[in-house]
Amino acid sequence: MKKIIAIIAFAFSSSFIFAQTPCSFKYGANEADSLKCLEQITNFRTFYNAKNYVDAYEAWQYVVQNCPCSWDGIYTNAQTLFQTLIKDEKDSVRREVLIDSLMYVYDVRSTYFPDKFTPGSGIGYKAYNLMRYRKHLHEQAFEWFVQSVEMEKENTQAAIWDAYFQLAKNRTDALRDTSYVIEAYERATDYLDLSVLNATKSYETSTDGLEKLQAQFDNAEIDRIEYDKQAKKLVADTTRQSKLIAGYIKVKAKFEKAVAPYASCDVMEQLYAKKFDEIKNDLPAVSKMVNTMFKGNCTSSPLFKEALSILHKASPNRNSAYMMGNLTLQNYLTSKNEEEITNAINYFKEAAQLSETHDQTADAYYMLALAYQTKGSYSESRSAAYDALKARPNMGKAYILIGDLYANSGGRCSDEQVPGAYTWAAADKYAKAAAVDPSCAESANAKRARLRFPSKDELFKRGLNNGASYHVGCWIQENTTVR
């Protein structure tokens, strides 16, 4: 540790916080400088990979001071480097110097590598480290988190969201002011939805690309070498986007669970009622409010209905159409006003047309199927459910919905050759649901177990045996198997 102490003392007596200006030279002004820089980069990598962080720090200092534009890994690996050095440092003064060095990394990395790092991300990680090492500066950290999130928006990393939300909760508890946690959740709801949407679009583009690539290879349009080359990149893209989606969804779920004690409908109504007149002409603010109340199951609130109406009229999009569909469907269930169910159907159709991903499309068509089922339009409901399955083939609940339509078709299929044969068709759909989607297998199997198939006497009268093929008529028109 003596070596690092000497280096720290030297660095900070020599103006360690350098000017944040782009480099004139990448590796150095002359050949000797360049060779020295490359040597120190190699040293850093060697020591860092060996977890010899004290010697890695010596190389790190040389590169940062003399050739800060040479290699972005000096900044990418700094968090791990410094958090270990800070943890091991016993001297309080030297520990503060190391913390300052880490903060400096996030100040300058976007200056030297603007294509890789953003200023907003740097501010977020400064806030993150402030909360780790200087908790008494929580007010500054909170300001930086808010600044970072509003700069990065949907590009905010999951770790920053997590730390920001935790600090918002702490402030709410300490100050007894729920606005901190609700505003944090409001930002998260708005931007994280975009994060998931963008990552999902990229994921679907890559998976669609893999399907097209496979077809090209199967049709001998490309050779194995070209196939392997393109497939490797596409698989890497899908893996990366899948991890992003999973990370964002995990953070969203954590937020939704944590915010529940603070953000009841009553609390949100009181909070938004105070500022609604100020924000009702600010569409981004109205959008955040609507999304937050929708996620909080506050859709029966008159304030939510007014805000959603303003948003959809001014700037209709997939989400606003989807929420309007849910709202009018609920209104119908309460009022039985036929106009409401018609409106719900139209809104879900609009949501499906405006959807940008397969999942969004599937969800919109599934809700359209539910609306048609509620109206009693079974054929249209089944058609919408199949549209949902085109977008998401493993959507088990869509098969369950079709099974429910068939299971409830007694009054529509009373003239069937075998009374109750529609239950065989329903059983097929429940079995399909369980097969494609394990998450709904229990529900599907329970529904299947409750079916009442035609009696053995009915089968005997018609000369039918178990396992025989049978065509269910009426509106269903499907081939099935006698049970």
Domain boundary among 62, 97, 117: 117
- Cα separations (Å) of 161 from 102, 125, 250? 20, 11, 11
Inside any domain, residue 304: yes
Q: CB-based burial of residue 12 (10 Å sphere; 0-12 exposed, 13-18 middle, 19+ buried)?
A: middle
Element (H, E) at 481: strand 478-481
Q: What is the mean pLDDT of the chain?
A: 91
What does the pLDDT average to over 51-60? 96
Q: Residue 262 — very low, low, confident or very high, per pLDDT cuts 50/70/90?
A: confident
CA 157, CA 449: separation in Å to the nearest integer? 46
Q: Within this chain, do residues 228 and 290 fall inside the same structural domain, yes or no?
A: no
Q: pLDDT at position 13, please? A: 37
Inside any domain, residue 458: no
Q: Containing domain of residue 424, as a range?
A: 265-452
Domain count, the chain: 3
Report whether pLDDT(132) > 80. yes
Task: Render pLDDT for 281-300 as a digit per residue (tens, 0 to 9).
Answer: 999 889 989 988 888 888 88
Q: Within this chain, do residues 259 and 287 fall inside the same structural domain, yes or no?
A: no
Report whether pLDDT(167) > 80. yes
Domain boundary among 65, 92, 117: 117
Using a pLDDT cut of 90, give the percent of the chain over it: 73
Q: Within this chain, do residues 362 and 425 fall inside the same structural domain, yes or no?
A: yes
Q: What's the CATH code of the domain at 223? A: 1.20.120
Q: pLDDT at position 423, please? A: 95
Inside any domain, residue 146: no
What does the pLDDT average to over 177-206? 90
The pair of structure tokens assigned to 319 is 């989400």
Q: Within this chain, do residues 315 and 414 fall inside the same structural domain, yes or no?
A: yes
Inside any domain, residue 371: yes
Which are the contacts of 384, defined by CB distance < 8 A and separation ≥ 6? 365, 366, 368, 369, 372
Q: Residue 22 — very low, low, confident or very high, per pLDDT cuts 50/70/90?
A: low
Q: pLDDT at position 463, please? A: 80
Q: Within this chain, do residues 222 and 273 fall inside the same structural domain, yes or no?
A: no
- DSSP letters of 302-338? HHHHHHHHHHHHHS--HHHHHHHHHHHHHHHHHH--H
The pair of structure tokens assigned to 219 is 């049709």
Q: Within this chain, do residues 286 and 233 fall inside the same structural domain, yes or no?
A: no
Q: Within this chain, do residues 308 and 231 fall inside the same structural domain, yes or no?
A: no
Beta carbons of 455 and 399 less than 8 angstroms apart: no
Q: What's the CATH code of the domain at 280? A: 1.25.40.10
Q: Within this chain, do residues 178 and 64 fall inside the same structural domain, yes or no?
A: no
What angle, 0 to 180 degrees and rounded to 10, lies between the N-to-C axes of helices 53-66 and 2-13?
A: 20
Q: Within this chain, do residues 298 and 433 fall inside the same structural domain, yes or no?
A: yes
Report whether pLDDT(16) > 80. no
Report whether pLDDT(253) > 90. no
Alpha helices in 135-178 (DSSP H): 138-152, 158-175
Q: Residue 12 — very low, low, confident or very high, per pLDDT cuts 50/70/90?
A: very low
Which range, 170-179, 292-301, 338-347, 459-468, is most confident? 338-347
Inside any domain, residue 136: no
Q: Residue 7 — very low, low, confident or very high, per pLDDT cuts 50/70/90?
A: very low
Inside any domain, residue 185: yes
Q: Within this chain, do residues 251 and 270 fall inside the same structural domain, yes or no?
A: no
Inside any domain, residue 77: yes
Domain boundary among 54, 88, 117: 117
Q: pLDDT at position 6, please? A: 44
Locus of tokens 């949902």: 388
What angle, 0 to 180 degrees and rounded to 10, lies between the N-to-C axes of helices 78-88 and 53-66?
A: 130
Inside any domain, residue 290: yes
Task: Render pLDDT for 303-342 as a digit per residue (tens, 0 to 9).
Answer: 999 999 999 999 999 999 999 999 999 999 999 999 999 9
In single-letter form, the type of residue at position 206 comes to: S
Sign of CA dihedral 197, 199, 201, 204: negative
Report whether pLDDT(15) > 90. no
Report whether pLDDT(2) > 80. no
Q: pLDDT at position 21, please? A: 57
Q: Within this chain, do residues 322 and 385 fall inside the same structural domain, yes or no?
A: yes
Task: Render pLDDT for 415-458 as a digit per residue (tens, 0 to 9).
Answer: 677 888 999 999 999 999 999 999 999 999 999 999 999 888 88
Q: Within this chain, do residues 240 and 188 fall inside the same structural domain, yes or no?
A: yes
Report whether pLDDT(242) > 70. yes
